[in-house]
Amino acid sequence: MIRKTKILKTPSSAALLRWYDRCARDMPWRMKGGKRPDPYHELLSEFMLQQTQVATVIPYFLSFTKRWPSIAHLAKATLDEVRAEWSGLGYYRRAKFLHECAKVIVAQHKGIVPQDEAALRALPGIGAYTAAAIAAIAYDKKAVVVDGNVERVMARVFAVEEPLPGAKKKLYELAASCLPQKRFGDYAQAVMELGATICTPKNPQCPTCPWKNDCVAFASGTMERYPLKGAKQKTPQKFASVFIAMNKKGEVLLTRRAEKGLLGGMWEFPTTPWEQEKPTLHIERRHAPAKLVWQKLETPVRHVFSHFKLEMALRIGHSAAAFSVQDREYRWMKWKNLSTLALPTLTRNVADAARNHVKKS
């Protein structure tokens, strides 16, 4: 009965905004006290924050804005430069989309980030959430901004009994029903901030929450029950062998991945295809970049992507001289110069493991 009465109550946006004014974290792209951020900063931060924590993003945001202080500067950079600056941040398609997005904004919008959600959605790499976030936060437009944090808050405040991902539409409608009459940008940030800092997945800090008096889950002590989730799928496991070829000049061989697909256009050490079975000796021989004596390292490098896990066995080979690789763009590089290339975290980890081994042996 209590639940039914409370579920009809919209939580107080005024209380949430008061809490936000007092408690919001400082971020290099965030403006407070009624000021709006530079739309370029807002756009850049949204690209970087997709699937990535604030603390990880901050140094990248600062280095990008120092090197490319405006959309126009970023549009003039080469894709390789943008990718190299993005190295280590993960989800590398974002770097390519960001660069394309900057070029389209310069070519079609006179270098000004559009204000309208539909125009924003037409830009490369910008989906419904990012368009709503930029419209609301950079331009104070009325927009429903729903990320995973907002979904969790809504699911708890209204005790939504439908599991995710099926509940997404309902959670979006509930989020829309809570919008205030003004301060749309601050409100959008406030709900996300609430989810990120107070209404956390585990141990939400309900006694300090500005919505505690309006929250059905808190009233019934069932906060961590929400959001309900459908049965979890097991993450697939893949395997590969990776070849670190070294020559007498102390250089290592890298190749560039195909432009399309996972880690598109990034640099890596040559590998066997990533498959569900460990590669056989025959497959290793077929995909090794040269006929060398390949030393097998016992400890593999493991990496988790969003949709599968990868285990890579390391193979180290020494060659008297540099050699060429058929059908692939390749480069011989000194260890110390690897950081000048666009390297995904996986390649960096393989490089670290191989280098540690070489130093010890």
Catalytic residue list: 46
Q: Which stretch binds ligand SF4 (CB under 6 A): 79-87, 209-217, 262-270, 308-316?
A: 209-217
Q: Is 212 in the site for ligand SF4 (CB under 6 A)?
A: yes
Least distance in Å: CB of 223 to ligand SF4? 4
Q: Nearer to ligand SF4 by C-beta: 2 or 231?
A: 2
Q: Is 206 in the site for ligand SF4 (CB under 6 A)?
A: yes
Q: Give the span between the Cα atoms of 272 and 270, in whole angstroms.
A: 7
Binding test (CB under 6 A) with ligand SF4, winner from 74, 188, 217, 350: 217
Least distance in Å: CB of 30 to ligand SF4? 21
Q: Is 341 in the site for ligand SF4 (CB under 6 A)?
A: no
Q: Is 19 in the site for ligand SF4 (CB under 6 A)?
A: no
Least distance in Å: CB of 204 to ligand SF4? 4
Q: Which stretch binds ligand SF4 (CB under 6 A): 37-45, 169-177, 207-215, 236-244?
A: 207-215
Q: Nearer to ligand SF4 by C-beta: 95 or 157?
A: 157
Q: Which stretch binds ligand SF4 (CB under 6 A): 82-90, 104-112, 166-174, 205-213?
A: 205-213
Binding test (CB under 6 A) with ligand SF4, winner from 57, 198, 245, 310: 198
Q: Nearer to ligand SF4 by C-beta: 199 or 301?
A: 199
Binding test (CB under 6 A) with ligand SF4, winner from 41, 156, 183, 315: 156
Binding test (CB under 6 A) with ligand SF4, winner from 153, 190, 254, 342: 153
Q: Which chain residues interact with ligand SF4 by CB under 6 A?
A: 153, 156-157, 198-199, 204, 206, 209, 211-212, 215, 217-218, 223
